[in-house]
Amino acid sequence: MRGDPVAHQQTTAASAVPSGRPGQEQEPRRRLRASDVIRKISQILGELLITAGIVLLLFVGWELWWTNVEANAKQTEAVQSFAQDLTGPVTPAAPGNQTDYGPPVVGTAPANGETIGIMYIPRFGADYTRPIIEGTGADVLDTLGLGHYGSTSMPGATGNFAVAGHRQTHGAVLDSIHTLVPGDKIYVQTADGYYTYVFRNNQIVLPNRTDVLMPVPTQPGIVPKESILTMTSCNPRFGSQERIIAYSVMESWQPASAGPPSEIAAQVAKAQGKG
């Protein structure tokens, strides 16, 4: 006997109807495509971050290393160019032949970017020589060394002879300013002679403290009686939130004809190509 035709029809109809909701079999594919997009975006972002990190490292290397290489070369050239035009012996006067040379000769400030003299700081190393350039703009400080604040005195004058310099990068001319101790000698050589300053103390101030450049630093309205050397730089060493100020007082001077102080005689000779 053949099977029930009604039951057969129901079975056939049931097998013809797909299971689940329409389109349900495409949901895994959609999820797969979305995960591919997210993975691709993550890869691109990762590559961009790696590239940015490499660029940042290159910039730090350029800032901390290459700017020093460039600046040191230009400062050495400035020192030698200035020293070669100087006259006078490069050997110090014999002991016992020192004399009173009278009031120090005070030169006239040159134009912006021109050399005033050379600074020697034995505390910073036996070979430390840096040019002192008129002006404190980026054109001076970023390449040529110590910049002279035009509103302040010249070397040897009564009042405040103030200079600025980078502590890191661009030659790092005042990187070791924090190592000075009272009594350290700082020598300034100009075409007129040699000025010997003695370090007294330092001070940490905020960047807006321009009163450190007054004739008597931080004391407005006071008439100066001493010849002061003020050096300013950024603080801390790898930041610029503050300024470190180093004060020195002139102890003596001697004309170029007397030769350099003995402590810097070798450096003077080397700068002039005679060492």
Residue 161: give its domain's CATH number. 2.40.260.10
Most confident of 13-22, 136-145, 152-161: 152-161
Rg (alpha carbons) of the chain, rounded to whole number: 36
Q: Which helix (H) or strand (E) holds 191?
A: none
Question: Which of 77-91, 94-108, 208-222, 228-242 bottoms out in mean pLDDT, i.e. has the lowest?
Answer: 94-108
Read off the pLDDT of each residue in 242-247 and give the average, rounded to a whole number.
98
- pLDDT tens track for 57-105: 555 554 555 666 787 888 889 999 999 889 889 888 666 556 789 999 9
Please, which residues bridge with residue 227 across strands?
Answer: 159
Residue 250: its pLDDT value, please? 98
Residue 9 pLDDT grade (very low, low, confident, very high; cuts 50, 70, 90):
very low
Query: Is position 124 within any domain?
Result: yes
Query: Is position 229 within any domain?
Result: yes
Neighbours of 255 (CB within 10 A): 14
CA distance 255 to 243: 34
Residue 108: its pLDDT value, please? 96
Give 200 or 52, the one with higher predicted confidence.
200
Using an 8 Å Cβ cutoff, are 141 and 166 in contact?
yes
Query: Is position 59 within any domain?
Result: no
Read off the pLDDT of each residue in 250-261 and give the average, rounded to a whole number.
95
Domain with 120, as residue range(s), is: 69-271
Query: Is position 11 within any domain?
Result: no
Query: Is position 120 within any domain?
Result: yes
Question: Which of 35-49, 74-88, 210-224, 246-260 bottoms out in mean pLDDT, i.e. has the lowest?
Answer: 35-49
The mean predicted confidence, pLDDT, of the chain is 84
Using an 8 Å Cβ cutoff, are 264 and 184 in contact?
no
Residue 159: its pLDDT value, please? 98
Residue 249: its pLDDT value, please? 98
Give 13 or 25, the one with higher predicted confidence.
25
Give the C-alpha distances (Å, rounded to integers) separating 228 from 66, 119, 149, 215.
34, 15, 13, 8
Question: Which of 54-68, 122-136, 178-192 bottoms out in mean pLDDT, i.e. has the lowest?
Answer: 54-68
Instruction: Report whether pLDDT(35) > 90.
Output: no
Query: Is position 14 within any domain?
Result: no
Using an 8 Å Cβ cutoff, are 156 and 143 in contact?
no
Query: Is position 103 within any domain?
Result: yes
Using an 8 Å Cβ cutoff, are 77 and 84 in contact?
no
Q: Could you give the percent of the chain with pLDDT greater than 90?
A: 58
Query: Is position 48 within any domain?
Result: no
Total structural domains within the chain: 1
Residue 6: its pLDDT value, please? 43
Residue 7: its pLDDT value, please? 43
Read off the pLDDT of each residue in 188-195 and give the average, rounded to a whole number.
97
